[in-house]
Amino acid sequence: MTGKALSGREFTGWHMLAGMGAFFGIVIGVNVFLAVSASRTWTGLVVENSYVASQEFNEKERLAKEQAALGWRAVLRYDGGRLQLDIRDRAGQPIDLGRVTVALTRPLGDHEDRTVPLARGDDGVYAAMIELPHGVWNAVSMAPKTPHGAFEQHSRLILR
């Protein structure tokens, strides 16, 4: 049997080399594309124990739905060195959450992570003075004991 294909042209080692190069080029190109996409879209979300976090998810979701049904509206802001959480009920009245903290993290890395306790002011707004560098911050506002279970809100702050 000769190295001729049905078209009458000869299939050589160069053809095989080109085919193998094209195959591996496509595989490597797809892997590079997926790796770059993954690194650009990674949120930085990491939990200590994924099993425990998965078990707590349903309870957190139930509490969030209950608080939303009560009309709770929470807004986290940062302006002029003041971090503030304004949380109100359906009637616009401030809600007493008790002890409130905000965990601030960067989307990537953990070198600037911090947890800030907020104090309730006379107007019902929780606030603290803190200097934050420019950039993107993930913020998790938490109050462990409220009249309707634990409160947790995830926000993103973009400081320019």
4 band by pLDDT with thresholds 50, 70 and 90: low
Mind listing the pLDDT tens digit for each residue in 43-71? 666 777 888 888 888 888 888 888 888 88
Does the pLDDT at position 1 exceed 60?
no
Whether the predicted model's global pTM rises above the 0.75 cut: no
Give dist(CA 101, CA 126) in Å, integer.
Answer: 9
Q: What is the mean pLDDT of residues 23-42?
A: 93
Query: CA separation (Å) from 134 to 31, 72, 79, 104?
Result: 33, 29, 12, 13
Does the pLDDT at position 19 exceed 90?
yes
Query: CA separation (Å) from 27 to 20, 33, 39, 40?
Result: 11, 10, 19, 20
Beta bridge partners of 83: 78, 128
Mind listing the pLDDT tens digit for each residue in 103-137? 999 887 777 899 999 999 999 899 999 999 999 99
* Domains annotated on the chain, with CATH: 50-159 (2.60.40.1220)
Among 123, 118, 122, which residue's Cα sits nearest to residue 77? 118
Beta bridge partners of 147: 149
Mind listing the pLDDT tens digit for each residue in 65-103? 888 888 888 999 999 899 999 999 889 999 888 899 999
95 CB-side CA count, 13 A: 25
Q: Looking up tokens 């601030």, which residue turns up?
A: 104
